[in-house]
Amino acid sequence: MTDSIMSKAATMEIPINSNGDTGTLPEDDSLEQDLQQVMVSGPNLNETSIVSGGYGGTAEGIIPTSSIKGTCTNSVPPVLCHLSQSRQYQGTGEDYGSNMNHSSSSSSMTAEESTKGVAVEKIEQVKKWGLNTYKCTKQMISERFGRGSRTVDLELEAQIEVLRDTKRKYENVLRLARGLTNHFYNMVQTQHALGDTFADLSQKSPELRDEFGYNAETQKLLCKNGETLLGAINFFVSSINTLVNKTMEDTLMTIKMYENARLEFDAYRTDLEELSAGPRDAVTIARIEAAQQQYQVQKDKYERLRSDVTIKLKFLEENKVKVMHKQLLLFHNAISAYFAGNQQQLEQTLRQFNIKLRPPGADKPSWLEEQ
């Protein structure tokens, strides 16, 4: 049938009139019928199927195109149907891209807002710190020149002054005890060297062997007792150092915080008093309320630190009495036994206070053992 169509099309002539226009083709019923048959016998796009698997797949992988959303009806040509579907998919992609751009811009705006919030917070902190420093400096200068009033707790101030005086005296005791340790250590080293020299001379001087021998033994015994006494004095120095430079210093740091809180409290109290003494209008009343809140905050902080200082001073006094009772007893018994020549009493004193001496030939402890 196709060959007959092609032969007929080849033998047809297109008549041209005098103006160059084509004439009307003669009607051929057989050609029209053949073309209609080709159109009817062609594949129907509405009934085609999409196979998801390979060749020889099961029927479960076949999806009819009529079930896809947006498919065209029989009245719409297949080419127009595919064009409309492709435009629909393209529009969907554009919407997705615009959504992505919108989300990225929203995230960048959120990050920028958070950065601005942190900067504003820092500025507010610096502003608050500057205002607080100004008020405290003004209050301190007023107190120095006698124009400002300050809050005074007479009992607590007396206890603080006693602590500072005690610390100065204990620091002097510590300095003298360290000096005694250094001098006594040098003496012990001299006795040790002198005993070695006497022992060497006793072997090389037969006529004075006994005399050098007695003195060598005496110096070695004094050196041994001196090392025992050094152990007791070192323990005394270490305990006093802990009491002065750790326990007392910790209490003094709390006292310093208390004094700073007292200065801030007086500064805000003075500010509130000056505002309350001035004229009353809407702006002043608002400032008075804000000053009242700050005053209450500083008052609570001041009272809390005052209570902490009182408690620490009480415990420090108890700890000081307990420590110094033990250390002074140790120092007295060790010094007395050494200069009395009572070696047994000296060793018993160290055992009583659980003091262990290092062997004479032992190396210096590492930094880890000293911690």
The reported pLDDT for the residue numbered 139 is 79
pLDDT digits (tens, 9 = 90+) for 17-37: 444 444 444 444 544 454 455
Please, what is the Cα angle at 175 between 352 and 256, to 5 degrees? 100
> Would you list the DSSP string of 188-215?
HHHHHHHHHHHHHHHHH-GGGHHHHHHH
The reported pLDDT for the residue numbered 142 is 82
Please, what is the Cα angle at 348 between 344 and 351, to 5 degrees? 145
Rounded Cα distance between 205 and 39, Å, is 144
Average pLDDT rounded to a whole number, residues 74-91: 47
Residue 2 has pLDDT above 50, yes or no: no
Tell the CATH topology of 158-183+231-343. Answer: Substrate Binding Domain Of Dnak; Chain:A; Domain 2 (1.20.1270)
The reported pLDDT for the residue numbered 117 is 77
Report the SS3 class of residue 51: strand
By C-alpha distance, which of 144, 154, 165 is closest to 306? 154
Rounded Cα distance between 209 and 200, Å, is 10
Average pLDDT rounded to a whole number, residues 252-279: 90
Q: Where are the domains of the chain?
A: 158-183+231-343
Please, what is the Cα angle at 124 between 120 and 126, to 5 degrees? 115
The reported pLDDT for the residue numbered 252 is 96
pTM of the predicted protein model: 0.61
Average pLDDT rounded to a whole number, residues 361-371: 46
| Phi, psi (degrees; rounded to nearest 5) at 12 | -80, 145
Q: Which residues have C-beta within 8 Å of that of residue 15, sequence separation ≥ 6?
A: 22, 23
pLDDT digits (tens, 9 = 90+) for 137-161: 887 888 788 787 888 899 999 999 9
Question: Ramachandran region of residue 341, left (φ > 0), alpha (ψ -120 to 50) or beta?
Answer: left
